[in-house]
Structure 1
Amino acid sequence: MSPDPADRARPLCVALLEDDDVLRERILVPGLRRHGLDVRPLRTAAALTALLAQAPVDLVILDIGLPDSDGFTVTQTLQAAHPHLGVVILSGRGEPPDRLRGLSGGADAYLVKPVEIDILAATVFSLARRLARGPQRAEAGWQLQPDGWCLFAPNGQSTALTGSERHVLRLLWAQPGQLVSREAILGALPGRAHDESGSDPHRLDVLLHRLRRKVLTRTGLPLPLDAVRGEGYVLRPAG
């Protein structure tokens, strides 16, 4: 995967190799797209090979059981032919020997079904950042991915964001240490994202309460966001 900064302007392209049509099309694809990912749904290893021959892909998410191959073999093939491609195995087989075989064969992460979509998305974002940066040391403080779809804590843990959360954090991130009014935050929620908070300021409090709880759960650290009663919020990401 290229670390060219120009690539940050486009969404991460993820090939999703899953033969369960219902799981793929009704849960995984819409869930990952909700987090801003460009998802290419596939059912067979042959389809993945064809895709990689004609289009750039950043990462591959794949199951172990496939109609024309198995995920372990596909992972090893990808490792040999595309060593810079990120690979996440998503399987119902969670026994230690399976995990060991997958990771030893070249997978960068091994997740067991069922998995929460935001955990899967956060894994993808974290892996993409690690691959793009290589062995460089992580920055200090909190980091928001350039496109705003993932938040990284100082300890390196990540939280994938929904559309509403993304709009709010991007606005707050542009004004670190400054009070951002409730009206300005509500005004930053366009289209469907606005429906999640509506015009009711109390629903904004609910959105941010849930975001704080999610960040704490995912990273183990509290989001450095302070509420100023009746006025707005202040984000202090540095340090």
Structure 2
Amino acid sequence: MTAGNDNGHGPAPMARAGELAGLHVWVVEDDPELLALLLDDLAWRGATVRGLGSAEALYRALLSDRCDIVVLDVGLPGEDGYAVASHLRASADIGIVMLTGRGDARDMAMGLTQGADLYLIKPPDLDVLAAGLRSLRRRLPGARGEPAVAAAPPSRWEMSTDGWTLHAPSGARLALTAMERGVLQQLFAAAGVAVTRDQLIAQVTDNPWDFDPHRLDVLVHRLRARVRSATGVELPIRALRGQGYLLTG
């Protein structure tokens, strides 16, 4: 099975918190920023995750623990992803998803021949990745089953009147930075409607033409991590492909 980052067939189904609950997913990726983004999204979807930076680290971890699915970068330092996939397929009954920046058909064929179940082009569409993981879970005999009942999402999030404090449904609070405040004010004001990247960027800088859009993704990722650490609850901000961001809670 192969996939790029946009299949051209309309919007993907809405992501759901907890949709991967019970699934153990390890991500082997030597790009720290991409690794953090993948782990953050998979954890929000309910998966039990672990990040590893090399084939050697993966092999060491497998000596003492197990996972259901490995998300594996092709361009790893030392032993590359093709060799790792071949080794895993021969020695372990786990799912293998390969990530690569190369979309050549011969590279895809190589990955699938070496044992990959799914081959995705970087940066992967997170909804497509999650759908692939759900499909693999149904086909893997050793994988944890679907949860009987999905965890209920938080019922209500609020911002203080001045906008500088975020209140979680648990009652915990988090002081916001100026840029975080600007992003959240836009999302709360939209009342569950997607806000475009351009609108969010215009809210956090006086020079939107000089603002790298990738910084917005990093800002949202770090905000979600800070909220989780401070409140113990996931902030329900979702990235929508080709649209922007949505506050779903």
TM-score range, shorter chain: 0.5 to 0.7
State the alpha-carbon separation in 2 of the partners of residues 147 and 21 from structure 1. 33
> How far did residue 104 of structure 1 move?
1.1
Unaligned runs of 5+ in 2: 1-19, 157-167, 172-183, 195-239, 241-249
Q: Which runs of structure 2 are paired with 1:118-157 in the superposition (5 Å)?
A: 118-132=127-141, 146=148, 148=150
Q: Deviations along 1:26-49, whole A, 9 cap, x unmatched? A: x11111111111111000101100
* SS across alignment from 2:141: helix
1:34 corresponds in structure 2 to 44
User: Equivalent of 2:90, from 80, 91, 94?
Assistant: 80
> How far did residue 133 of structure 1 move?
8.9
2:97–2:116 contact (8 Å) kept in structure 1: yes
1:24 corresponds in structure 2 to 35
Residues matched between the structures, number:
157
Amino acid at match of 2:39: V
Shift in alpha-carbon separation, 1:88–1:191, aligned structure 2, 3 A: farther
Q: Report the TM-score, using the length of structure 2 for normalisation.
A: 0.52
State the alpha-carbon separation in 2 of the partners of residues 147 and 53 from structure 1. 32
Runs of 4+ in 1 over 2 A off after TM superposition: 144-149, 189-192
Amino acid at match of 2:56: A
Shift in alpha-carbon separation, 1:10–1:119, aligned structure 2, 3 A: closer
1:98 corresponds in structure 2 to 107
State the alpha-carbon separation in 1 of the partners of residues 142 and 67 from structure 2. 17
Unaligned runs of 5+ in 1: 1-8, 135-143, 150-165, 169-184, 208-213, 215-239
Aligned-pair identity in percent equals 37
How big is the alpha-carbon RMSD for the aligned residues of Structure 1 and Structure 2? 4.0
Q: Report the TM-score, using the length of structure 1 for normalisation.
A: 0.54
More helix by share: 1
If asked which structure has higher relative contact order (CA below 8 Å, sep 6+), I would say: 2
State the alpha-carbon separation in 2 of the partners of residues 148 and 64 from structure 1. 33
